[in-house]
Amino acid sequence: MTKNSKALDFLLTRRSHPSKTLKEPAPSLDDLNPILTAAMRSPDHGKLEPWRFIILQKNALLRLAKCASSRSVELDLGVEAQKKVEFFFSNPPLSVAVVSSPKESEKIPMIEQTLSAGAVCLALVNAALASGWGASWLTGWTATDRPFLTNQLSLKKHEFVAGYIHLGSKSFQPPERPRPDFKSKTSIFSD
């Protein structure tokens, strides 16, 4: 057995970076290449690849901020939610929408395909952090609002956004947040 201490240390200390702390510059397409390649190296039962990416660069994010703002008025979500969704899209230097895109399959249930999209989200965050970028996995109502998904992101009816992975340069190291003790989350069946 060969221990990869660096990888383990990374996993034991990794922290997401809140969106408001992400600054320019954003990762370039060249920077994203190994990050998205690593993200796709995620468990995927039946090799269906039930996910895809949409890279949202700054101008697209600013457009989405306006559209989401109008949609929040349509949905009567209130002024606070309107400001929140405007900030959600206008703040990050770049975002990658990980689209859950399940395939027809008699063998692989939908839930497993959705879990695979979630695995891709975490792998993307971790690959970005390991590359030195700040990253955060976020959702909110625009991840599942059908009119927003269809009209603004051109998603098909069976697709939704498993995560918007906001990316940018780090402006500070977030403090540790409390983590559960593994014993409180673990049962042992020994026979």
Ligand X SMILES: Cc1cc2nc3c(=O)[nH]c(=O)nc-3n(C[C@H](O)[C@H](O)[C@H](O)COP(=O)(O)O)c2cc1C
- The CA distances from residue 169 to 29, 70, 91, 139, 180, in Å, are 15, 29, 12, 20, 29
Q: Which is nearer to ligand X, 16 or 116 (CB)?
A: 16
Q: In this structure, are residues 74 and 85 in contact, taking their beta carbons and an 8 Å threshold? A: no
Angle subtended at Cα 163 by Cα 172 and Cα 29, rounded to the nearest 5 degrees: 70
Provide the minimum distance between the beta carbon of 178 and ligand X in the complex, in angstroms, as a whole number. Answer: 10
Which of 39, 96, 120, 138 touches ligand X (CB under 6 A)? 138
Beta bridge partners, 100, equal: 51, 160
Provide the minimum distance between the beta carbon of 187 and ligand X in the complex, in angstroms, as a whole number. Answer: 23
Query: What is the end-to-end Cα distance of the chain in Å, rounded?
Result: 26
Provide the minimum distance between the beta carbon of 190 and ligand X in the complex, in angstroms, as a whole number. Answer: 31
Provide the minimum distance between the beta carbon of 3 and ligand X in the complex, in angstroms, as a whole number. Answer: 23
Using rule CB under 6 A, residue 126 touches ligand X: no
Using rule CB under 6 A, residue 170 touches ligand X: no
Question: How many residues touch ligand X (CB under 6 A)?
Answer: 8
For 166, the 3-state DSSP assignment is strand
Residues that bind ligand X (CB under 6 A): 15-16, 136-140, 163
